[in-house]
Amino acid sequence: MTLSSRLVAAWYAPRLRALTLFLVPLSLLFALATGVRRALYRAGVLKTERVPVKVVVVGNITVGGSGKTPLAAALCRALAERGWRPGIVSRGHGREIRDEAPLVVTPDADVARAGDEPLLLARSGFPVAVAPDRVAAARTLIAAHPACNVIVADDGLQHYRLHRDVEIVVVDAARGLGNSWRLPAGPLREAASRLNEVDAIVALVTAGAAAPWIAPNAYVMTLVGDAFRRVDGSALTQPPSAFTGAGVHAIAGIGNPERFFAHLAALGIRATCHPFPDHHRFVASDLALPDARVILMTEKDAVKCTTLADARCWYLPVRAHIDPALVERVLESLRGPEAA
């Protein structure tokens, strides 16, 4: 187990462990710094900027994967079905070629320049722009797609410079808030009390499983998917039953690899699992598994493995299934008091 994976395991333990205990002073400094920064925005010392369309922010208060990107895509689909014309902005974590200038991401973009999650979102059929400055990304997106009338910001909760009309926080119900300490002694980017200020909390729940942590007012989301596709782009598909028996391996370079491995197990697939860090840049040696008859991966990993993959490599597309009441809550906020 790597140091980073040991640290994540310690974050999501019920209380501080030896590995995280000595990080508490740094956590106190981090909490102070983030608190001062937010206070400066609230006081108007640091300026929040509006863009000429409505903005929905999807984020979390913990580090690591909680389903933000699938939720952003699901919200865009739901808004489009109701007559809105959504676009998406993202910081573009995992970009290997970093440009300060905003980039409009197309479905055939270079993943090294666009980032894995923005490329997936672009392939879902919606306009996407990436930049560290989400205000600049939003303005670039609107200029390139003037019909866009609502922006969904994927992972923008702490980017306070971008004014938002709706805030949604996603929490992985199986992990909860971990040990409830701030970074780096725990997984929290902001205090747990931040949940009391957002418009909606969404709990990512494994289908059919009881969730150990759901906020009383949380909307439930599940990730669904049970048809595998070949990574090489050949359009071949297979059901989970094709991947039983020996020689099945699974790789995952996402925020919470164990969630993907658990999904495979729920589909009846027993795989030898290989977790990697989030946004991992895969190389040929990562797929050099001599006894592997099959290598299964997430769609997020597949976009980075296209040139490396052989006939053994398959990925599992998933979609977020969200509560219709969440969509209505978002629409209510977007329409504003005049709709009442």
* Same domain (yes/no): 175, 291: no
Residue 202 lies in a domain: yes
Counting Cα atoms < 13 Å in the Cβ hemisphere of 266 gives 14
The share of the chain scoring above pLDDT 70, in percent, equals 95
- Residue 164: the pLDDT is 97
What pLDDT shows up at residue 2?
A: 75
Rounded to the nearest 5°, which phi and psi values hold at 30? -65, -45
Same domain membership, residue 236 and residue 217: no
In a domain, 120, yes or no: no
Same-domain check for residues 61 and 160: yes
Q: What is the C-alpha to C-alpha distance for residues 153 and 82, in angstroms, rounded to an integer?
A: 19
Quick check: 141 pLDDT over 90?
Answer: yes
- Asked whether residue 137 is assigned to any structural domain, the reply reads no
Q: What is the pLDDT of residue 57?
A: 98
Confidence bin at 337 (pLDDT 50/70/90): low
pLDDT in tens, 323-336: 999 999 999 999 87
Spatial distance between the Cα atoms of 273 and 271, rounded to a whole number of angstroms: 6
Does some domain include residue 326? yes
| Cα torsion angle, 84, 90, 96, 102, sign | positive
| pLDDT range class, residue 339, cuts 50, 70, 90 | very low
Note whether residue 243 is domain-resident. yes
Give domain status of residue 127, yes or no.
no
Same domain, residue pair 295 and 211: no
Phi-psi region of 31 (alpha: psi -120 to 50; beta: other; left: phi over 0): alpha
Taking all residues of the chain, what is their mean pLDDT, rounded to a whole number?
92
The alpha helices in 127-248, defined as continuous H runs, are: 134-144
Model pLDDT, residue 66: 86
On whether residue 93 sits in a domain, the answer given is no
CA–CA gap between residue 92 and residue 105 (Å, rounded): 10
Q: Which of 6-15, 156-165, 280-289 has the lowest mean pLDDT?
A: 6-15
Interval 52-66: pLDDT, tens: 999 999 999 998 778
Q: How confident is the model at residue 340 (pLDDT cuts 50, 70, 90)?
A: very low
Strand order across the 228-230 sheet = 237-238, 228-230, 313-316, 294-298, 248-252, 272-275
Q: Examine the domain organization and report whether 273 and 202 are in the same domain.
A: no
What contacts 240, CB < 8 A, 6 or more positions away? 226, 228, 264, 267, 268, 269
Domain count, the chain: 2
Mean pLDDT, to the nearest integer, of 115-136?
A: 95
- What are the DSSP calls for 49-111, one per residue? B--SSEEEEEE-SBSS-SSHHHHHHHHHHHHHHTT--EEEEE--TT-SS--SS-EEE-TT--H
Instruction: Decide if 309 contacts 126 (C-beta within 8 A).
Output: no
49 and 63 together in one domain: yes
Contacting residues for 335 by C-beta, under 8 A, at least 6 apart: none
User: For 213-270, what is each residue's pLDDT tens digit?
Assistant: 667 778 999 999 999 999 998 889 999 999 999 999 999 999 899 999 999 999 999 9
265/283 same-domain check: yes
Percentage of the chain with pLDDT > 90? Answer: 80
More confident position, 340 or 120: 120
Domain that holds residue 288: 228-317
Please check the confidence at residue 30 and state whether its pLDDT lies above 70.
yes
Distances in Å between the Cα of 313 and the Cα atoms of 5, 243, 263, 293, 320 are: 25, 11, 17, 9, 23
Q: What is the pTM of this model?
A: 0.93
Q: Give the pLDDT score at 174.
A: 85
Quote the pLDDT of residue 97.
73
Structural domain contains residue 203: yes
Instruction: Please check whether residues 270 and 327 belong to one and the same domain.
Output: no
> pLDDT digits over 160-171, tens only?
999 999 999 999
| Domain CATH number, residue 211 | 3.40.50
Backbone angles phi, psi at 119, to 5 degrees: -65, -40
pLDDT at res. 103: 95
Cα(156)–Cα(57) distance, integer angstroms: 6
Residue 92 is predicted with a pLDDT of: 85
pLDDT at 218: 87
pLDDT digits (tens, 9 = 90+) for 70-122: 999 999 999 999 999 999 999 987 787 777 789 999 999 999 999 999 999 99
pLDDT of residue 209: 60
Let me know whether 199 and 329 are in one domain: yes
- 233 shares a domain with 276: yes
* 294 and 169 inside one domain: no
What pLDDT does residue 329 have? 95
Can you give the pLDDT at residue 211? 57
Are 307 and 172 within one domain?
A: no
